[in-house]
Chain A
Amino acid sequence: MLMDTSDMICDTYPGEMIGREYMENLYGEDMDRVLHSVVKLKNAVIGNNKQKFHMMSLGVVGRLLEFIQNERAAVGLRTESAIVLGSLAKGSQANVKRLVDSGVVPILLQCLNNSNLKFVEGCLRCLRSIFTSQAAPVELLYTDPGVVPHMLDIVSQSPTTQECICSILAQCCKTSEHQGLLYSNGVIESLAPLLASKMYKVQMPALRVFCVITYTNQIVSSAVASATVSERPLPDLLVELCLRDKSVEMQMSSAKCLTYMCRANALSSQDSKIVYKALPTLIRMCKKDRRLEERVEGAETLAYLIEVDLELQRIASYSDHLIPTLSEFLRYPSTQTTVMDLKRLDYDMKHSYELRAAALMAFASLGANDEDIRKKIIETENLMDHVVCGLSDPVIRVRLAAVRCLHSLSRSVQQLRTSFQDHAVWKPLMKLLQNADDDMLTVASSTLCNLLLEFSPSKEPMLESGAVDLLCDLTKRDDPALRLNGIWALMNMAFQVETKNMAFQAEQKVKSQILVALGTDQLFKLLSDPDVNVLMKTLGLLRNLLSNKPHIDHIMGMHGQQIMQAIVLILEGEHTIEVKEQTLCILANISDGTTAKDFIMANDDVLKKITNYMIHANVRLQIAATFCISNLVWNEEEGALERQMKLRDMGVQKLLQQLLSSSDTVLFDKVKTALQQFT
């Protein structure tokens, strides 16, 4: 035996061939001997990462690929080569990467067209190992458009093809394009029967495929919902996989799939499969006796399932002690237990932030709509402390989840006045807003909107810490959601009803501060914003700014011209009824001022427009316009007579008399009030 160990690592065992020898044998002429040494190679590398690495360093992969690609080579040799590659693909990530870099994937995909089942299975096993690793080269599956249809064609051939193809597809469906491609190639029809397979190894990956194709995809979800397997509806089959004597993984995945179908509107949220199967299953997955990964996945999926449905939120809130169970997530790992084993500690630490994020997300969903549930959540021991702590958590996912949770809870007027105040939540929130990414900003600023509502006692300290500037900056963002939140928050800030906790002067100050910080340029820019929601809130801001006589006169005195211009522009533009109504309301506010009235009275164009809206087909616009007139002719005010005269000359009084025949009671009352002003 020739022993040349000068240029390689020597870790061979007695009686074993060394690497170079394998290589030499692989290049031999005698095909039987070559096959023999491939088999030997297979036995040598199995379960031995070091050996695998070593062999790959010697370039064994290239030679094996040559065999595999060689159409004339014996199929036995090609199969054995594929099996060796499959073995190499198991083990370290580095090995997988090297295989991918050697171009294994396209070649193996090509070989799937071979008619020999054993060979195809060998290739599929190797591909499965590669695609299910972390460094899966997903896109390679879609490079050749023929691959996916072919895979779906051969899927039913054997349990191995079923298992491997399902595993590959489940890993490689990452985008809605992928979902669409799989769907149009009949993935549902091909894989649905596998859900009823007797083999767990086949059932489970097939179920995973159904999870990934239904996620946020309405078309696919609907198709799955109406699919059948031997005349049984597929969703019923999913319910069966959800039974409590199935494996936890299977229960979780089928509940997940049902959840996705529900959120994609393919199943009603009132469907018993959701209410009595998916929901309780997910709640059960959060329980203490489950593994940490399962609890995290359960809570996250649950959060998604109930996010927008009040009834599901209610049921979840009293099911199986869910709220206390989730609040335990926040305390994990509990400090009381002494740590005995470091491995365990490591595992705990790794999962503790995932647990926290998942629980906070679930609380966010639970408290999204119902005041009683919010109360129940907030009354849970120390929960608010954990939420507030979460706002400054080192892990971004936890921060985001904490803000979402806070956002949900901030929809409660009572909480804004009590526990939010007690915990000074605005402080960490403002800090979070300083340098957050867009996702975070969107949620955080939504929360801010709520905190800035008039009745929130947090308002004053927040103003002092520079909230106005921050919000004005938001209105300049590219993301319409951020602009909306910014202007919305400003609108809330400017909104005041006979406030007791803020002096009149202070109120005036806030309004001026907003105007100064925002700048009229920006204000008018927002009035031409392409997003109608932003426009509405900007008009709302203007309306809130222009309330209280002295404020109206003060602001109109400074920016009257520009405001009138903007109003005219909007009234002339093509806008929805809501926008125009809001604009007319601003005019009505302006006409409530003392000196501000002149801006309207002196502008015949505007007056003309108002009278036109009085006879508009939409009664809401008629009401707003009449209200405006009513303010202008209010006879207790100075100069009322001249204004009445002018308007009478314009035929307004006559118009009002005609409107008395209106069947709309609100309009009728307004018209009557206006007419009574004329003397």
Chain B
Amino acid sequence: MTGLTSGIVRQQQKAKMADSGDSSAAERNNSASETADERLKRIYSMVNEKETPLPRSWSPKDKYNFIGLSQNNLRVHYKGIGKNHKDAASVRATHPIPSSCGIYYFEVKIVSKGRDGYMGIGLSAQGVNMNRLPGWDKHSYGYHGDDGHSFCSSGTGQPYGPTFTTGDVVGCCVNLIDNTCFYTKNGHNLGIAFTDLPHNLYPTVGLQTPGEIVDANFGQQPFVYDIEDYMREWHQKTRVTIESFPVPDHKGEWQKTLQRMVSTYLVHHGYCSTAEAFAKSTGQSFTEELTSMKNRQRIQKLVLAGRMGEAIDTTQSLYPGLLERNPNLLFVLKCRQFVEMVNGTDSEVRGLSARSPKSRNSSGSSTGSEYRSSPSLSPSHHRMDTQRANGKIERTYVTGNKSPNTGELINTKSNPSTSANQDHASVAEMNAVNSVTNGFSSNQVDVEMEVEEYNSQMVCNGVSSRVNDGASTSYMNGCSHNSQHREDLMETDDFDTDKEVQSQRRQLCGGSQAAIEKMLQFGRELQGMSVQLRRQYGKNEANKKVLQVKLPLTDTPVYYKCHSLGGSYRA
């Protein structure tokens, strides 16, 4: 994100320089003599095509059989029988949209609407089923010509824009700065269609009836919609944000500001020794005590280890009143606890024997040197947009723990201001809230994709009852990344681990019948808590999101054999 912003600024400066040299920049932009390469280079000047090539045509490999390509793989036609929606066929572009674009745009001209004009234009992630129109599946988004509806990973569309047909030019713009998408029809902006888009989506079109032909323009031709004007507005916006960014210090004290930023980052994440050393060498001071930092770190570790019950208990004993003041936080924590219960990690279902003793860490002061030297886990901020394929469990994406990714920078930036705003909460306390949330959010995102996994687990364990039918069925957790965390813990931490749990095959709630009942009971309480929260504070979209998992509505779910992986990952 930060890279992107600075990219825009640089681009702007370039544009500015060009402006001063050549009075009629606009004229130059529209000159017909510009080649396709030149145009693409100008529009997406921050993209390094050696690393992240731009989509320039449809992929002959990444398409359904019923799709035919011609004219340098820019023209798409339908060659199936087109009886019903099962005959739908899509094609993706050769490459995903590079994030460094900032703003990406492509247009599709409808050469012929064919028999029924069931055409979908949009975006999809790699691996999404191609025997479908864009928008019907998870991580797939589309705008359909027959009814003008938008489809956001769902078989049912929302009324969105006008219909489109032969002769129309439909454009699709992905704004990777605020992760939204809007469409255009014949050069007119139809307004935002999708929000919270993931990154690394591919331009996609889908056709469904014979005779449908569409041509793509990935920037080789001038666009019908004035996308560059839209980009100009965002460049301007970004510049203004930067220029008007409030700097609390007096002139020339940038150095101090930057140092404070680093220092608060270190304190926030509990890198005690580093923070100390940094403070010493730069003459900074930080207010939070070391023990407090360590306490927060402990809670964070518990969260990351999936031991939510303990994490909640510890938070309550160390920061009494904190969770009472943040009922929504408590709610998400408990949701997570439920997830961990299902997968058998949480101590509630592991039984008291497995509960980790209030270990040395809590006494804190005694030794600590080896402990404080390296915080084992910096929170990883996996966002919804982390690259992944639909339903495919990718073991790799959870490894970000050790290297802070860009998301963290943003968090640290916001952190001081948050604590400044809420004077009543001590810095330490605020940090505690943050660390808990951070630890949580890294796991949270994975919930969605692991539904099927859960289903299969249920099946193989012979448990037929569904929990709390409906929404709360969905707190489940893949067995994927916790193991990863635990491995990290093994290396760096002195938590006692539970060998017997880890080594056995993974089962629902660790396989214990009593635990399952306990889990079900917990689920019901959670539902009750949600209802109560809503009554008290009104609807909370975030909470709702945690509760809800959208299942693909139209296609048969794909089951993944996660249990077979269960035994193998404890090395």
Give A contacts to B, CB under 8 Å.
240, 243-245, 276, 280, 315, 318-322
Contact = CB atoms under 8 A, between A and B. Distances in A.
Given A280-B189, A318-B161, 14 more contacts: A243-B26, A243-B229, A244-B230, A244-B233, A245-B233, A245-B235, A276-B187, A315-B188, A318-B162, A318-B185, A319-B188, A319-B190, A320-B190, A321-B191
B226 interface: yes
Interface string B419-438: 00000000000000000000
B192 interface: yes
Chain B contact residues: helix, strand, loop or mixed: mixed
Contacts of B226: 276
A240 B161 contact: no
Contact of B229 (A244, A318, A320, A322): A244
B390 to A, nearest CB: 29
A327 to B, nearest CB: 14
Contacts of A320: 182, 189-191
A320 B180 CA distance: 13
Could you say which of A245, A319, A320 has the most chain B C-beta atoms within 10 Å of its C-beta?
A245
Contacts, number: 36
Q: Which 8 A-B pairs have the closest CB atoms?
A: A244-B233, A321-B191, A245-B236, A320-B191, A245-B232, A318-B162, A244-B229, A320-B189
15 contacts: A240-B26, A243-B229, A245-B233, A245-B236, A276-B187, A280-B189, A318-B161, A318-B162, A318-B185, A319-B189, A320-B182, A320-B189, A320-B190, A321-B191, A322-B191
A375 to B, nearest CB: 12
Contacts of A276: 187-188, 226
A318 B236 CA distance: 26
Contacts of B188: 276, 280, 315, 318-319
Nearest to A272: B187
Contacts of A318: 161-162, 185, 188, 190
Contacts of A280: 188-189
Contacts of B229: 243-244
Interface string B242-276: 00000000000000000000000000000000000
Interface in B20-39: 26
Given A276-B226, A318-B162, A244 B232 contact: yes
A283 to B, nearest CB: 8
Interface string B130-146: 00000000000000000
Contacts of B192: 321
A319 B185 CA distance: 9
Contact of A319 (B26, B191, B232): B191
A276 B225 CA distance: 8
A13 B162 CA distance: 70
Contacts of A321: 190-192
Contacts of A245: 232-233, 235-236
Contacts of A322: 191
A280 B229 CA distance: 11
B65 to A, nearest CB: 35
A489 to B, nearest CB: 36
B398 to A, nearest CB: 36
B107 to A, nearest CB: 15
B478 to A, nearest CB: 38
Contacts of B162: 318
Could you say which of B191, B230, B235 has the most chain A C-beta atoms within 10 Å of its C-beta?
B191
B562 to A, nearest CB: 42
A276 B187 CA distance: 7
A431 B559 CA distance: 67
A322 B161 CA distance: 11
B232 A243 contact: yes
Interface in B189-206: 189-192
A244 B26 CA distance: 13
Interface string B218-246: 00000000100110110110000000000
A244 B240 CA distance: 13
Nearest to B24: A232
A309 to B, nearest CB: 15
A343 to B, nearest CB: 20
A234 to B, nearest CB: 15
Nearest to A287: B191
Given A276-B226, A321-B192, A244 B187 contact: no
A280 B162 CA distance: 17
A124 to B, nearest CB: 29
Contacts of A240: 26
Nearest to B224: A276
Contacts of B189: 280, 319-320
Nearest to B225: A276
Contacts of A244: 229-230, 232-233, 236
B200 to A, nearest CB: 27
A280 B233 CA distance: 14
Nearest to A315: B188
A173 B132 CA distance: 61
A322 B189 CA distance: 11
A315 to B, nearest CB: 6
B467 to A, nearest CB: 34
Contacts of B191: 319-322
B149 to A, nearest CB: 13
Contacts of B230: 244
Contacts of B190: 318-321
Nearest to A320: B191
Could you say which of A240, A244, A322 has the most chain B C-beta atoms within 10 Å of its C-beta?
A244
B273 to A, nearest CB: 43
B549 to A, nearest CB: 28
Nearest to A324: B191
A322 B187 CA distance: 16
A267 to B, nearest CB: 18
B446 to A, nearest CB: 33
Contacts of A315: 188
B25 to A, nearest CB: 10
Nearest to A276: B187
A483 to B, nearest CB: 42
Nearest to B239: A245
Contacts of B182: 320
A240 B26 CA distance: 8
Could you say which of B161, B162, B188 has the most chain A C-beta atoms within 10 Å of its C-beta?
B188
Interface in B166-193: 182, 185, 187-192
A319 B162 CA distance: 9
A319 B186 CA distance: 11
A185 B162 CA distance: 49
Nearest to A244: B233
Nearest to A280: B189
A280 B185 CA distance: 13
A185 B191 CA distance: 45
A486 to B, nearest CB: 40
Interface in B143-164: 161-162
Nearest to A230: B23
A318 B182 CA distance: 13
A321 B188 CA distance: 11
A474 to B, nearest CB: 41
A319 B188 CA distance: 6
A315 B161 CA distance: 11
B234 to A, nearest CB: 9
Nearest to A247: B236
A566 B187 CA distance: 59
A64 B185 CA distance: 64
A333 to B, nearest CB: 18
Contacts of A319: 188-191
Contacts of B26: 240, 243
Nearest to B192: A321
A341 to B, nearest CB: 16
A518 to B, nearest CB: 47
Contacts of B235: 245
A319 B160 CA distance: 10
A378 to B, nearest CB: 15
A475 to B, nearest CB: 44
